[in-house]
Amino acid sequence: MERTLFSVRRPRGPSGRHGVSTTRAHPVQGFDAYFKSLGVHNNTRNPWFTEFWEHFFNCRWPGSTATPYNQLTKTFCTGEERIGPVYEAEKQLQFVSDSVLAFAYALRICMKNSAGEGLESVRR
């Protein structure tokens, strides 16, 4: 079960599928450096990150809850693992980023139209 926003570099070969994409995605500026700098110790605000770390490095974080990704793992994560060399951003990441930004702008416009410029009227 793959559920990641990046892929591990693997040799490309015939997959039995053919297709043409007319849309070209561009890298999200600054995302690679940001993502490569993350670790379990410095990314506690993201509740999914420990599970991702365990799955990616095939280890179990000490004290973590059992998940389908860490139940059979016998080695413990140290926190010294690094994402760096095997990381390659998912080609479609730009579209996710663009969608989130579009939603944020739409939400801002809705709030402004219904509550005025300030957030104080929204909180009431």
pLDDT digits (tens, 9 = 90+) for 21-60: 556 778 788 888 888 888 888 888 888 899 989 988 999 9
Give how far Cα 112 sits from Cα of 25, 26, 98, 104, 121, Å. Answer: 31, 31, 21, 12, 10
From the list 72, 38, 42, the residue with the least C-alpha distance to 55 is: 72
Instruction: Give the N- to C-terminal CA distance of the chain in Å, as an integer.
Output: 44
Q: Specify the length of the chain in residues.
A: 124
| Residue range 71-114, pLDDT digits in tens | 888 899 998 998 887 778 777 888 888 899 999 999 999 988 88
Q: Is the pLDDT of residue 12 over 60?
A: no
